[in-house]
Amino acid sequence: MGVAGWTWQGREYPWFDSCRERTIYHWTAEGFAPVSRFTTALIKLVPTEWGAPTFEIDGIKMLPTAQVSPYADAEHKVGLIAPRGKVILDTCGGLGYFAAWCIAGGAQQVISFEKNPDVLWLRSLNPWSPEAGPVLKLTQGDITEEITRMPAASVDAILHDPPRFGIAGELYSQMFYDQLARVIKRRGKLFHYTGSPNKLSSGRDVPDEVAKRLQRAGFVVAVNGDGLLAVRQ
């Protein structure tokens, strides 16, 4: 470390001229640049007080961070489906925190889909995001299309962490839940993150609507934290 810059792992880097709040940077050929992109929406990796980052799309946080690390939150939710020895469908891969804990928990295989190529780019720069390998099969694709090509009763458990209803209503539809019921084995567990939307401002009870649709698809459903834990009958 000196006047001109600092050294990390044997390589020298210059000091920042300026640094924006709530921004993570990465090194490029031109220097440090924010881990953010704008294509159809502004997407960026965002620091948290917990270490592991979250990400935002047009300013909307995609992971809970107010009271818990998004990484620790994923650990708890993965524990609900008991991943050891199981084939797990991770419908909306995001930064891959669910997949990371499935791998750590001894899953046989994690089949993960992520529709947004910019989210996959964020993953490539995030040290908390797992890489694809023998256990993790990561595919860029729309789960509403990909799931129709999956064999019936081909997974032991499912983790479903979709964007909010207003952004991706198709991931809350009866048709999609019927597909989840088709691909999961009997007595398989599903954790569905719903969050806690404000009924007064939104005019609807999303968790209750989701529970009813899952029941119609053949699941027994119970509220668990900020989501629903369901078992296929």
117 φ/ψ angles, rounded to the nearest 5 degrees: -65, -25
Taking all residues of the chain, what is their mean pLDDT, rounded to a whole number? 93
Q: Taking Cα atoms as reference points, which of 150, 151, 128 lies closest to residue 141?
A: 150
Asked if pLDDT for residue 73 goes beyond 80, the answer is yes
Whole-number pLDDT of residue 198? 57
151 φ/ψ angles, rounded to the nearest 5 degrees: -65, 155
Residue 29: burial class (beta carbons within 10 Å; 0-12, 13-18, 19+): exposed
The residue ranking higher by pLDDT, 45 or 205, is 45
- The least confident of 25-39, 82-96, 120-134, 208-222 is 25-39
Q: Where do runs of H (alpha helix) occur along the chain? A: 70-80, 97-104, 117-125, 143-146, 174-183, 199-202, 206-217
Cα separation values, 49 from 43, 119, 159, Å: 20, 21, 25
What is the CATH number that goes with domain 70-232? 3.40.50.150
Whole-number pLDDT of residue 171? 97
Asked if pLDDT for residue 85 goes beyond 90, the answer is yes
DSSP 136: E
Asked if pLDDT for residue 1 goes beyond 60, the answer is no
Mean local confidence (pLDDT), 118-132:
97
Domain ranges of the chain: 70-232
As a whole number of angstroms, the distance between CA 9 and CA 23 comes to 23
Q: Contact, 138 vs 144, CB < 8 A?
A: no
Q: Residue holding tokens 């891959």? A: 96
Taking the CA atoms of residue 92, residue 110, residue 63 and residue 226 in that order, the dihedral angle to the nearest 10 degrees is 90
Q: pLDDT by residue (tens digit) across 183-218?
A: 999 999 999 999 876 555 556 789 999 999 999 999
Asked if pLDDT for residue 222 goes beyond 70, the answer is yes
As a whole number of angstroms, the distance between CA 186 and CA 217 comes to 12
Q: Contact, 211 vs 228, CB < 8 A?
A: yes
Whole-number pLDDT of residue 199? 58
Taking the CA atoms of residue 60, residue 63, residue 65 and residue 67 in that order, the dihedral angle to the nearest 10 degrees is 120
Whole-number pLDDT of residue 147? 98
